[in-house]
Amino acid sequence: MSGNQSGDVLVLGAGVVGLGIAFTLARAGHPVTVVDPAPASGATHAAAGMIAPVAELAHQEEALLPLTLDSARRYRGFVDDVAAVSGRDAGYATTPTLVCGFDAADRDALAALYRVQLRLGLDVEQLTTREARRREPLLGPHLTAAYLLPHDHQVDPRVLSRALLAALEALGVRVIAQRAEALLSTPAGSGTSGSSGGRVAGARLADGSTVEADETIVATGVAADLPGLPAPLPLRPVHGDVLRLRPPAGFPALTHTVRAIVRGVPVYVVPRFDGTLVLGATAREDGGSGLQAGGVHTLLRDGITLLPALAEATITDAVARARPGTPDNMPLLGRMRDADGAAVAGLVLATGFFRHGVLLTPLAGAAVRGLLVGDPLPVAEPCDPDRFALIPRATAP
């Protein structure tokens, strides 16, 4: 493709976050263009899609809770909108969640987390192991603890992404199958800037063409550190191996997402509408981007301890992808500032969603929409991309 295309909003990256933002903006009437060489092929392709603010609460991560609760509350409305515009199911299910432990240390760890969840007023109920097994007869022996999280739900990210792409098509959004190489910058003092510094005016694509835009949203996941940003991003890849399995005929259906700590290692099984199961996920910072044998071994070992009948299932899919991690595990969502501390006009960053990008997608859409109309979402304030005092790049490329 050559020549220039123009659009008021340009979304770089069509993972679940970029797609969700593009949908929210297009539905609100913004002319939107999306650029991605392979939509929904990044972390979105691997994700289990747990909409699990309570189960995902981790020690030291309480600042995330207002965001995850806010986004979980938005989910039903969001997927209903996507379904209405696309004419397709968006893959959302109100499957409740069971959380189990397998030895004394797992029990103690879950009990400590339960106390935090209760203190924060979250919706969690302690069960006897007998009650847990009554709810899910396939659970293995030797359970030491069980909790019910009735409002931790799920969405199938692959189904949601397909519905979002169909919704974008219905809304007339152009999706360009290209890689963005760099942001287009207008230098400070050129007279076109809305701030004291330069402004971002779109992107240059891999084939040399450019797309100009009033606002450019960088939502390229772990690859978000594009040339043209005012500072390097503190992103790190946290790789996850995940399996999809098809149980044999006659296998009783799971009616809960089952999460567990099995001898200190977290594991989960998410049941899909079509009877398949998602078994995940490792969290590796070893730099290895391919599916790791040891990771698959651990998943199968702990998954089969959790649900012994899984041993009879057929593996239908095995992938590894990188979660975009940040130093505090909070997203980088908002406007960036230049070396003088002025917001760079025309640029919004939407990355760093780490373990929660699917869950946080409705919030990301609402937050970016708020920024564009000058009405920022207060709950998103802690996601300010400049909170780490990043060192500005020496010169704007």
Ligand X SMILES: Cc1cc2nc3c(=O)[nH]c(=O)nc-3n(C[C@H](O)[C@H](O)[C@H](O)COP(=O)(O)OP(=O)(O)OC[C@H]3O[C@@H](n4cnc5c(N)ncnc54)[C@H](O)[C@@H]3O)c2cc1C
Per-residue HEC secondary structure of 66-97 comes to HHHHHHHHHHHHHHHHHHHHHCCCCCEECCCE
Complex with ligand X: residue 197 or 295, whichever CB lies closer? 295
Closest approach of Cβ 368 to ligand X, in Å? 12
Complex with ligand X: residue 94 or 192, whichever CB lies closer? 94
What are 181's two structure tokens? 């190489």
Complex with ligand X: residue 4 or 141, whichever CB lies closer? 4
What are 44's two structure tokens? 């979105």
Please give the Cα distance from 333 to 349 (Å, whole number): 5
| Closest among 59, 45, 250 to 158, alpha carbons compared | 45
| Closest among 48, 63, 75 to 280, alpha carbons compared | 48
Out of 49, 53, 91, 295, the residue judged to bind ligand X by CB under 6 A = 49
Closest approach of Cβ 74 to ligand X, in Å? 13
Closest approach of Cβ 51 to ligand X, in Å? 7
Binding mask 259-298 for ligand X (x = CB under 6 A): ---------------------xx-----------------
85 lines the binding site for ligand X (CB under 6 A): no
Find out whether the peptide bond into 281 is cis, omega within 30 degrees of 0.
Answer: yes
Please give the Cα distance from 324 to 221 (Å, whole number): 6
Closest approach of Cβ 298 to ligand X, in Å? 13
Complex with ligand X: residue 97 or 193, whichever CB lies closer? 97
Segment 306-365, which members bind ligand X (CB under 6 A)?
321, 323-324, 351, 353-359
Out of 7, 39, 237, 303, the residue judged to bind ligand X by CB under 6 A = 39
Please give the Cα distance from 266 to 74 (Å, whole number): 27
Integer distance in angstroms from the first to the last C-alpha of the chain? 23
Stretch that binds ligand X, among 32-40, 92-100, 333-341, 384-392 (CB under 6 A): 32-40
Complex with ligand X: residue 197 or 346, whichever CB lies closer? 346
**Residue 18 CB contacts under 8 Å (≥ 6 apart), including other chains:** 11, 12, 34, 36, 217, 219, 220, 350
Out of 10, 22, 26, 48, the residue judged to bind ligand X by CB under 6 A = 48
Q: How many residues bind ligand X (CB under 6 A)?
A: 43
Out of 41, 209, 276, 292, the residue judged to bind ligand X by CB under 6 A = 41
Segment 197-226, which members bind ligand X (CB under 6 A)?
219-221, 223
Complex with ligand X: residue 52 or 171, whichever CB lies closer? 52
Strands 4-6 and 210-212: parallel
Q: Which regions of 219-276 does DSSP assign to beta strands (E)?
A: 236-246, 257-262, 265-271
Q: Taking a C-beta distance cutoff of 8 angstroms, is the pair 138, 309 a contact?
A: yes
Stretch that binds ligand X, among 39-47, 107-115, 258-266, 287-295 (CB under 6 A): 39-47
Q: Rule CB under 6 A: which residues touch ligand X?
A: 12-18, 35-44, 46-50, 179-180, 219-221, 223, 240, 242, 280-281, 321, 323-324, 351, 353-359
